[in-house]
Amino acid sequence: MATLAEQVQGERMARIVLSMLAEPDDLTTGYILGRHGGVATLSLVESDHYVTGLGRADVLLWRERLRARIAPDLMERVAEAEQYGFGTLIPADREWPAGLDDLGDRAPYVLWTQGASSFLATALSDRNDHRCSRVHPLRRTRHQRTCGGSGR
């Protein structure tokens, strides 16, 4: 069976998968992602390779936590998000809010969007608009909403 790193198609998809595996503000994920990129981070989740700059125990706990969340239908959920018309922003995108880079290892892995992300200018607030729980109905009204976390 192919690994996640082999199944993803580039940095964007890797970050989407990571957003489904790791909690927002996961410092270990943020550290590795910031230094190695999304595809390599997924590869490190599934491998036993050493991660420079992190303690062995920290990496083992991180792997155990993320591996437990790899569901058989994970890649189907990625495709489903695309099917529902959700967009994404990653740091390489022109529309990525530059201020998020100030968060360093705590920066979101990906921002989920609905609508024209070129108009993205303000934070969502109100506890992430109740964790973006109303995104699906808003999709029919073409409102813009953004959520940077997994919404758990």
| Predicted confidence (pLDDT) at residue 77 exceeds the cutoff of 80 | yes
- pLDDT band at residue 151, thresholds of 50, 70 and 90? very low
Q: Which residues pair with 115 in a beta bridge?
A: none
> Does residue 90 or residue 151 have the better pLDDT?
90
Considering the entire predicted model, what is its pTM?
Answer: 0.76
- pLDDT band at residue 111, thresholds of 50, 70 and 90? very high
Please give the Cα distance from 76 to 47 (Å, whole number).
22
Write the Ramachandran bin of 132: left for phi over 0, alpha for psi from -120 to 50, otherwise beta: left
Please give the Cα distance from 54 to 37 (Å, whole number).
16
pLDDT, tens digit (0-9, with 9 covering 90-100), for 129-149: 555 655 555 555 555 555 555
What pLDDT is recorded for position 85?
84
pLDDT, tens digit (0-9, with 9 covering 90-100), for 41-75: 999 999 999 999 999 999 999 999 999 999 999 99
Compute φ and ψ for 114, nearest 5 degrees.
-140, 120
Q: What is the 3-state secondary structure (H, E, C) of 45-71?
A: HHCCCCCCCCCHHHHHHHHHHHHCCCC
Please give the Cα distance from 9 to 37 (Å, whole number).
13
Q: Which residues pair with 113 in a beta bridge?
A: 87, 146
Tokens matching residue 93: 């995108």
SS3 content of the chain, % helix, strand, coil (to 5): 55, 5, 40
